[in-house]
Structures are given as structure tokens and as C-alpha cells.
Amino acid sequence: MSRGRTQTGSRGDVRHSGSAGKYAVFGPRHFFLFIVLAMTAAGCLRLTSSERPDTDSHENSTESGSKSSDTEENDTAPPPHPCDGAMCLERPEWRTCVEGKLTIVSGEGFCALDSDSRPECKFDTEQVACPSGKCADAKYCSESPCHGVRCDSPLPNSCYGDTDEASTDTPRNQLIVHEREGRCQVSVDDNAPECVYDTAEKFDCPNGGGCDTDTRAGAHCAAEPCLGVVCNRPPARFCEDANTLVVWNLYGRCADDGSCVYDKRTVDCSSKGGCQNGRCASEPCAGMLCHRPPARYCASKETVVRFHHAGTCDETGGCVYREERSDCPDANCTGGNCGSQACFDGSEVNPPFLERTTCYSFPAPYCNTDGELVFWDNLNPCREGRCTYSTNAPPITCEGLCRDGRCTKDPCEGPTWECEYGKPAPYCADDAHVVVSRARACDPSDFCNYDAVTEPCPGGCQAGVCVEDSPAAAPQG
């Protein structure tokens, strides 16, 4: 297995981690008590639009966090909304545990305007029941300190030779990319949870350019800055006006300068109570993305706890992630892995782990130095217990030009898996119907868009899942 690195640091109570969960799936009880991070040009906030290769920064910024797909200058166009492109990725590290219940900050932030029309990031809080019903140090669950922790603030890319994996005099011709979603382990020093991010891949930098370190954004291959770039942390959703919600597609592509580009789409809230606090008021799940699950961890030496990558949406607009518990046959569960087994391919566990794997650090499509479209097209990247991303589909020679990770003449030429993998979360329309998103056929003018389809749930609907489809014996939360 690739060697992991622990993100410790001194920021906050949980080391580089976060939130989430309740009920027979991992589903929090959401409270609309907002924790607000006011966004200004001062302090520790920074621009992220020019960062490469890891452009979706760990910090919040209401400057353009990543490029949108329509960033061309247009003198006749109205100025963009102040929240357009804002990044709300860094949750405040605030948490408390009282009488067996955690109160933590949710995983998904949104952007809104304050009383002076300035953009700010807001986060909901969630309550999570401890499995043991007991707290430790008023911060964590006793017996399961990793319960409720998210590990989704990955280490920046680095050059081989910049870390303890090699001496500093090693030729810097390899790029080290870390998993975007980590696993949680309990510190032997103070029994506190901490996040570990495994090395996802080591890429040989092509064309003799070597690996270069950008002090703002980590490392990149000098001659091919998009190699190894992952674009799955889009800007924050926001209300563009009283009736229009703006959301961004989950997966982006890598622009020619090494930054991430995301497409955005709108949700009409005019028949859904209008747009408030980054949601349609009376239908808060409309257009919501739920793709930031809790971190996997070991419940015991015999049991690993993992969560489905794609969640559902509950009646408050909060994300719910189904939990899967798998046996470690050799009683060797450590740090969220069964021994060296970091992922499952779907045939190795009983019951099969839905979505097959915990490997979601897909490299973004990009245009190489030969003008070809390079993309990842491996729908099951788990190989011999570890995630593998080095195998790409054969590059495509675009009929027109290749620009910013897409063929200009036919944008649908190449991969379209990101539309299916990044679709909005299902939710209950009422007690007997579920609303699911169906990806439309690719349209060059409307690359990733969806139709909301209402389907019956004869046994009832709960938290975006038809009751007959819910795991009857899944452990409580």
C-alpha cells in the first residue's frame, strides 16, 4: 500500500478534519444555526484562482477560488455576483460533545451576502449521536473518537524529495499526489482523532521539465502542469437573486495554466419558496450535492466503517451518507484500513460495498503539450487493495482545438463520466415519493445538466431513500 502521511498541525480540535452523522445511515440532524466566516481581503484569506496544481485551496476565499467556464471578458456583461467563484472549503474547527451528542460544523459551506452586501461563508451545524452514548473531553465520542470526523482537507501535492519519502538531494522529477479523502485514526499520544492522507500516485514529470514547487499551491510538473491535478472541490453555491440558486458541477477540468475550471448551472426556486441561504426555501434539497462523506475508521480490530461516497438529502437540506461495516478477517483494522487493504473492488466484501471503492481522487481531464485531450477513464481504480490512477484512456486528438481540458469544437468528445458521478443527491418529495436526478445526454452547449424525476416509494420515503431500499440492520449513528 502507498505510504500515508498524517496531517496534524495545531489548528482546531480535530486534526485536519470535520463532521457528520445520524440514524441507520450516517445522517446528521441539521440545525440552521449558522457559523459565519466573514470574507475580507485581509487576514489569512488568499486568492486561489491562479494556484496550481491544487487550485481548490484549503482556505476560504471570496475571491475567484477556481475558474468558472465562462470567465471570458465581456464589456457588455453585468458584473458577476460577489459570491460567484467563492470557495467555502475550510470549515471552522468548532465542536462540542454533551450528553452523548456531538455538535459539529457541517461539511458543505455556502456563500451569502452580509448586511453590507459583502460575501461571507456560512456553515450549518449538525448533531451526531455517539455510538456509545458517551462523550470524552467534551469534544469527542468515547470509544469512537473518529466518529463524526471528516478528512477532506488533503495535503498539497509535493515533489519527490520534498518529504521524508526521499532525501532532498534526490532528483525532483516525480510528482506526489495524495488522496483527496483521508481516513481517521486515533492518536496514541492523546487519544484524539487525526486524519491520514495516503499517497494516491507518483507521476513521472514528462519532457524533462522536472517537478517544481509553487509556494502558494504545492507542486506541479513544470512542462505539464495539469498532470496529476484533481478538480473535485468546486466553488460554493449561492443565491444569485431571490429566485435563482447557482450550483457548480462537482468535477472540473484542468485549464492550460494548471488551475481548475468548473461549470455552473442554475436551479429555479421561484416555485420552491424562493432562494434563501444557499437553498430553495421550501425544497432545500433541489440541486444539492452530497459528495463529502465522513472518514472511514476502525470501530474495532475486527471492523472497518466506511461510508458511501454519494449521499442523499434529508428534509432540512442536509446530507446523509449510508454506512457500511465490513469484517477484517485477520482482526487487523488499523487507521481505517484492513491491514494494507485501502479499498475494495466490490467482490471482496460481504455485503458488497456499494459504489465499489473509496477511490475518488480522479485526475481531471486536460490538454497535453501535443494538443491532445488526456483523461482518466477507469471506473474501478481499486487494484490489489490500493487506489490506482495512473492508467488513462488513450489521448484524443480533438477535431478542433483542445483548450482548458475540453475539445472546443465538440465539448462532448471525451469523458462524460463526471456527469453521472457528480449528479445531485436524491431527496423525498413527500412521504411516498423520491426525487432523483437523471443526467441528460451530453449537449455541447449544456455539458452536465439533469432532469429531476419523481418516482414512487410504496413503502415510504426517508432521507432521500425509499424505505424498502434502506438497510434494515445498519448500525445507528
Residue 91 lies in a domain: yes
Residue 33 lies in a domain: yes
Indicate the pTM of the whole model. Answer: 0.80
> What is the sign, positive or negative, of the torsion defined by CA atoms of 406, 410, 413, 418?
positive
Q: Do residues 324 and 296 make contact, with C-beta atoms less than 8 angstroms apart?
A: no
Residue 211 lies in a domain: yes
pLDDT, residue 248, reads 93
pLDDT in tens, 326-373: 888 888 899 988 887 777 654 444 334 334 456 778 889 999 888 999
Residue 475 lies in a domain: no
pLDDT band for position 178 (50/70/90)? confident
Residue 419 lies in a domain: yes
Which of 38-42, 163-167, 200-204: highest mean pLDDT?
A: 200-204
Q: Give the residue with greater pLDDT, 324 vs 269.
A: 269
State the CB neighbour count (10 A cutoff) for residue 231: 30
φ, ψ of residue 419 in degrees (nearest 5): -70, -40
CA–CA gap between residue 286 and residue 250 (Å, rounded): 15
Q: Is 99 exposed, middle or buried (0-12, 13-18, 19+ CB in 10 A)?
A: exposed
pLDDT, residue 460, reads 93
Q: Give the residue with greater pLDDT, 74 vs 95.
A: 95
Residue 31 lies in a domain: yes
DSSP 420: H
> How much is the average pLDDT of 443-457?
85
pLDDT, residue 462, reads 92
Q: Which amino acid is at 424?
A: P
Q: Do residues 36 and 209 make contact, with C-beta atoms less than 8 angstroms apart?
A: no
pLDDT in tens, 40-75: 332 223 223 333 333 333 345 544 445 555 544 455
pLDDT band for position 239 (50/70/90)? very high
Residue 322 lies in a domain: yes
Residue 477 lies in a domain: no
> What is the sign, positive or negative, of the torsion defined by CA atoms of 277, 281, 284, 286?
negative
Average pLDDT, the chain: 76
CA–CA gap between residue 422 and residue 58 (Å, rounded): 21
Q: Give the residue with greater pLDDT, 437 vs 275.
A: 275
If phi > 0 it is left, if psi is from -120 to 50 it is alpha, else beta; for residue 10 that is alpha
Total domains in the chain come to 1
Q: Is the pLDDT at 159 greater than 60, yes or no?
A: yes
Least confident range of 16-20, 26-30, 81-85, 294-298: 16-20
Q: Do residues 168 and 189 make contact, with C-beta atoms less than 8 angstroms apart?
A: no
Q: Is the pLDDT at 168 greater than 80, yes or no?
A: no
pLDDT in tens, 107-158: 778 999 998 999 999 988 878 888 889 998 888 888 889 988 888 888 888 8
Extended strands (E) in 402-449: 402-403, 406-407, 427-430, 433-439
pLDDT, residue 330, reads 84
Domain containing residue 206: 4-469
Least confident range of 21-30, 48-57, 202-211, 274-283: 48-57
pLDDT, residue 179, reads 86
Q: Three-state DSSP class for 95?
A: strand
Cross-strand partners of 454: 435
pLDDT, residue 162, reads 54
pLDDT, residue 3, reads 40
C-alpha triplet 394, 399, 400: angle, nearest 5°: 120
pLDDT, residue 271, reads 94
